[in-house]
Amino acid sequence: MTAFDEMFPGASGPRRPYASYDQWLKDQDPGRLTEKMRDAESVFRKTGITFAVYGEEEAAERLIPFDIVPRIISGNEWRRLTLGIEQRVQALNAFLDDIYHRQEILRSGRLPRELIANNVAFLPEMIGLRPPAGVYTHIIGVDIVRISEDEFYVLEDNARTPSGVSYMLENRETMMQLFPELFKRVKVRPVENYPQLLRQSLAAVKPHNVAGAPTIAVLTPGSFNSAYFEHAFLADQMGVQLVEGQDLRVVDGHVAMRTTEGYKQIDVLYRRVDDDYLDPLTFRADSALGVPGIMDVYRAGNITIANAPGTGIADDKAIYSYMPEIIEFYTGRKPILGNIPTWRCSDPSSLSYVQEHLHELVVKEVHGSGGYGMLVGPAASKKEREAFAKKLAARPSNYIAQPTLSLSTCPILTEKGLAPRHVDLRPFVLVSDRIQIVPGGLTRVALKEGSLVVNSSQGGGTKDTWVLDD
């Protein structure tokens, strides 16, 4: 498959969004650019921008690979993406409110009831419970892929605990340090105000009985978590406390954190702990990561938990396959951003098709993330496909399949010069009394030639994403 290259789509030269950057690039000495790549790596190493790789004994902590060639999006392209993302986010929040209350979409027959009832991400404990301000998904990451000049698709929704925003911010800061002259030449919309926007957005959904400015904290599973750098980074940038479960307890019907002056009430908790571990009295009894009794405080309306428990149902990949119907049901309009065609392996006819076409499909776990537990059929060996087919046959409802798309490419800097690599984009959305989308997001890039897997855990890297101010 021939991929659409976002910088050089043909022999006629760079696309318009890249024109100014391309002129600058032609004037650069290749040796200087190579030196800047080493400088960027040094910055990341000194800052400690790492991620953990589960299941590997050596090199468990890795440096995030960073490429200095930016991914550039025009203002017009961004406006279109923004409209589609806002529509999708509105539908997701309405969907969550509906399935935990009236379940009208199930009554209408638009969505199979068993898809909710048999879904491990659906929390019966949330039935009839409406979060403060009625917001379920306070922070969302929407993964978007491009396959041509005008075709964008949503690859998946991250409505549980989306990660990567710290890398977006550090990428921009690093680029501004390395190439300050570029930002004078090219008008790029800023992203560095995200932590302030995040704090304002969280404060706007405080419990109704909290007067004045709320106390906000970030709940982390601890330093061994793969995204711990981001947890600490965001807490520091927002000017709030980073806490672990052992720092918290329920006091007089509120969640409070331990301080040098005693326990202090928390009003809004940005949690990066999964539902199962959030409250050992309600969910997993063996969890030491959460807060015993926090769900009782939540039910009483005395704390905002972002994102709300039970939002994981919205980023289930089987639910994803129904997003066009979900968007139309709650907004009354067709989706602005399309879905990738998806086969639900729980359906016998779809399973049969997928089994016969494994060599040309991408197969994913419905609750998978990070690129784990998936098969990229065209890149897999016959032996790998046969092994995966056995997993598929044993638990078909655990998988969905999609066609192998020719994702767009952007150049990266290699030892031999520029070379195209496949990319995706994760814009970050804040939801409170309004929807805010930072202009840009995290561009993930598959650094291996020909690879379609952009996840950092699978060898991918990141780029700075520029949205032009035009």
Q: Which residue has the higher pLDDT, 416 or 264?
A: 264
The pLDDT assigned to 332 comes to 97
| CA nearest to 325, candidates 310, 338, 344 | 338
pTM: 0.92
Strand partners, 413: 418
Q: In angstroms, rounded to a whole number, what is the distance separating the alpha carbons of residues 456 and 443?
A: 11
**340 has a pLDDT exceeding 70:** yes
**160 has a pLDDT exceeding 60:** yes
The pLDDT assigned to 282 comes to 97
Neighbouring residues of 213: CB distance < 8 A, sequence distance ≥ 6: 203
Strand partners, 362: 376, 402
Neighbouring residues of 121: CB distance < 8 A, sequence distance ≥ 6: 275, 310, 312, 313, 315, 316, 367
The pLDDT assigned to 459 comes to 73
* Per-residue confidence band for 50, with pLDDT thresholds at 50, 70 and 90: low
Q: In angstroms, rounded to a whole number, what is the distance separating the alpha carbons of residues 273 and 141?
A: 16
| CA nearest to 195, candidates 466, 434, 430 | 430
Judge residue 69's burial from the number of C-beta atoms within 10 Å of its C-beta, 0-12 exposed, 13-18 middle, 19 or more buried.
buried
Q: Which residue has the higher pLDDT, 384 or 379?
A: 384
Mean pLDDT score, 31-57: 78
Lowest mean pLDDT among 13-22, 410-419, 436-445, 452-461: 452-461
Q: In angstroms, rounded to a whole number, what is the distance separating the alpha carbons of residues 136 and 139?
A: 9
- The torsion angle over the Cα atoms of residues 187, 188, 192 and 196, rounded to 10 degrees, is 80
Mean pLDDT score, 401-410: 92
Q: Side chain identity at 307, as an amino acid letter?
A: N
The pLDDT assigned to 372 comes to 66
Mean pLDDT score, 296-303: 97
* Per-residue confidence band for 376, with pLDDT thresholds at 50, 70 and 90: confident
Q: In angstroms, rounded to a whole number, what is the distance separating the alpha carbons of residues 276 and 261?
A: 31
Lowest mean pLDDT among 184-198, 238-252, 349-363, 443-457: 443-457
**61 has a pLDDT exceeding 70:** no
The pLDDT assigned to 95 comes to 98
Mean pLDDT score, 439-452: 92
Q: In angstroms, rounded to a whole number, what is the distance separating the alpha carbons of residues 30 and 416?
A: 10
Range from 30-34, 46-50, 98-102 that averages highest in pLDDT: 98-102
The pLDDT assigned to 211 comes to 93
What Cα–Cα distance (Å) separates residue 262 from each residue in 16, 258, 303, 357, 368?
Answer: 58, 6, 19, 61, 41
Lowest mean pLDDT among 86-90, 140-144, 182-186, 403-407: 403-407
Question: How far does CA 406 lie from the centroid of its chain?
Answer: 21
- Asked if residue 327 lies in contact with residue 335, where contact means CB atoms within 8 angstroms, the answer is yes
Mean pLDDT score, 79-93: 97
The pLDDT assigned to 59 comes to 44
**53 has a pLDDT exceeding 70:** no
What is the side-by-side order of every strand in the sheet holding 343-344? 343-344, 399-403, 361-365, 375-376
What Cα–Cα distance (Å) separates residue 353 from each residue in 125, 193, 346, 357, 386?
Answer: 37, 47, 12, 6, 15
H/E element, 418: strand 417-426
Mean pLDDT score, 316-342: 95
Q: Mean pLDDT over all residues of the chain?
A: 92
| CA nearest to 431, candidates 340, 280, 308 | 308
The pLDDT assigned to 314 comes to 93
The pLDDT assigned to 113 comes to 93
Mean pLDDT score, 144-171: 94
Q: What percent of the chain has pLDDT over 70?
A: 96
Domains of the chain (ranges plus CATH)? 16-207+303-340+405-467 (no CATH), 343-403 (3.30.1490.270)
Q: What percent of the chain has pLDDT over 90?
A: 80
H/E element, 174: helix 165-178
